[in-house]
Every structure is written in C-alpha cells, then in structure tokens.
Amino acid sequence: MNAPRPGESASGGDDGSPFSFFHLGEDGSYVPTRYAKSAWSDGLVNGPAIVAAAARSLEIEYGHEDFQPSRLTVDLFSQVKFEPLEVRTEEVRSGNRIRVADAHIYQGGKTVARATLVQLRRGEQPPGEVWRSGRTLTPPDGPGGTVLSAGSRAWFGSDASDEPWSRSMGAHQNAGRKRFWLHPLDVVTGQDASPFQRAVTLGESTSLMAHWGTEGIGFINADLTVALARLPRSGDIGIEAEQHISEDGVAVGTAALFDHDGMFGSGTVVAVSNAGRQIDFATRGLVKGKPAADPGPEKGTRV
C-alpha cells in the first residue's frame, strides 16, 4: 500500500468549502472543517473524521505496497473538541509477514483517541474450498451502476421499507436491517482519500447501521475495528448491518463493507447508551414539520 498522493478533490459545497474533514495546518495538525462536526454536538468532531485522520497518518508513515492493511482498531475514549488535533505515530513491529503501528491523537497535550494498524503480507491463496455465506450485497443501481463522487448525497436502505434504496434517511427509520451507500469524504483538503481511508471512514458507520432503530440512535460507540480482506475497488462503497446485541445500555454492533464487486471487509463496535441525547433522524433537519435546506452531504451519518 503506497502513501496517498495529492490530487484534486471535489470542488466543494455551495459555500465553496471543500468536501473534506480537515485542512492541514502549517504544523501538520488536522484543522476540522464543517463536515467534521458531530451530530451529537457542533462543538465536537465526529467519529468518521477521527478514524480517518488516524488512518491517513498511519498509512502515510507505515503503509507498504506489498502489505494489506488488514485491521485498524481505534479506541474512542474521550470527546474530541472541534479544534485542531495532532496525530503521532510509532512503529511497533516491521516483520516479514506482519507489520504493526500505533497512533495517538492529541488535543491540548492529552491523548483523546488511539489506534493500531495491522498489515499482513499479500500472498498465494491456500488450496481447497472454504465455506462462505453466499450473501449478496447490491449497490442502489446494481453492480457497476451509477458512480458517486465525494460530497454526493448518500443512498439509504432498509429491509422494512417499501423502497430498498432511497435518498431519504428518515424514510428508513424502522426496525429493519439498515444499509447505506456513498462516496466517503476526503480526509484533508486537496488530497483524494485512498481506498484504505475510504474504507475506514465508512466502517465507522458500523455503529449507525447496527444501532439505528425505530426511534433513531441512542448508542454512541467507544471504539471501532475495521477488518479488510482487500481494499475497495470503487470510490463509492456500501455498508450493511450484520448484528445488534444490547442489554443494560451496552451494545455490540457488526456490519459488512461492500463495493461493486461484493463484500471486502467488516466493522465491529462496542457502544454505550446515550439515550439522553437520542438522535431522531425522522425529524432531524425539519423546520415546522417541513424539510430544511439541504444540510450537506451525509449530514445525518456523521455521528
């Protein structure tokens, strides 16, 4: 896996702002844009932005083209304020078949999140047949359908809706299995997100897909683990809930990641109840019962 190269990103929103989570400060810090704001609070940075920053820093410092970024685990144990953040990385092991590196995210001199990247050397597939679920995950327009760009409105879907896919998030607030499809935002302005960065950004929505119910979402994830057998082959990718388990305000959620060619990885989170600040997507963005102006790409998913 090579470090991402600078490239032209999407032009940006109606106000001219680029479709990215951060600008890079002169000191290399990540300066959040409006797209990094959390749905829980405008004063906080959202989960996808935090894990994307960790993934980018680890990839740039320690990515290798012969190795598959197989697992990224991010511990989200503190609120991250809507302020510049710093990512410091260190190599733990550089072996022939496994490479491991850590990252710590700092604000105000304190660690607010940490991450571990495990990379495995690509090689020959072992002989024989292995059981597979055979489950088919299909994009909104079918395999090879319409291609989205960063900043495009997401597609939402659920098993309990008459429409398998639609642009309305609130229309899928039900008790069914959830899914959505989008082109994740770039991590920093002026650089196209790499396939690894896009996969991790989408993977953070495991909590949303697994814990979103009839009254919205009332769990906030304390971590994220994304496991990847391969990198996504398309810019627009999807995620679908696999399982939700919860009791006494503690939850476990899992989800499948897929692209136009099928499933390529999975996401797992643990989450704690945040019922006092439940987010109701059926009413979010309404003014006097009517839809407000478009809040921007994937606004509702940035929790």
pLDDT of 141: 79
Residue 194 lies in a domain: yes
Residue 162 lies in a domain: yes
Q: In sequence order, which residues have a C-beta less than 8 Å from that of residue 43 and are 6 or more positions away?
A: 81, 82
pLDDT of 285: 53
pLDDT of 142: 60
pLDDT of 148: 74
Residue 138 lies in a domain: no
Residue 68 lies in a domain: yes
What CATH number does residue 286 fall under?
Answer: 2.40.160.210
Instruction: Provide the whole-model pTM.
Output: 0.89
Residue 103 lies in a domain: yes
pLDDT of 146: 61
| Domains identified in the chain, total number | 1
pLDDT of 289: 41
Residue 116 lies in a domain: yes
Tell me which residue range forms the domain holding 183: 20-122+147-301
Residue 273 lies in a domain: yes
Per-residue confidence in pLDDT tens, the chain, 303 aa: 333 333 334 445 544 457 999 999 999 999 999 999 998 899 999 999 999 999 999 999 999 999 999 999 999 999 999 999 999 999 999 999 999 999 999 999 999 999 999 999 999 999 999 999 888 898 997 655 666 777 778 999 999 998 889 999 999 999 999 999 999 999 999 999 999 999 999 999 999 999 999 999 999 999 999 999 999 999 999 999 999 999 999 999 999 999 999 999 999 999 999 999 999 988 875 434 444 444 444 554 566
Residue 133 lies in a domain: no
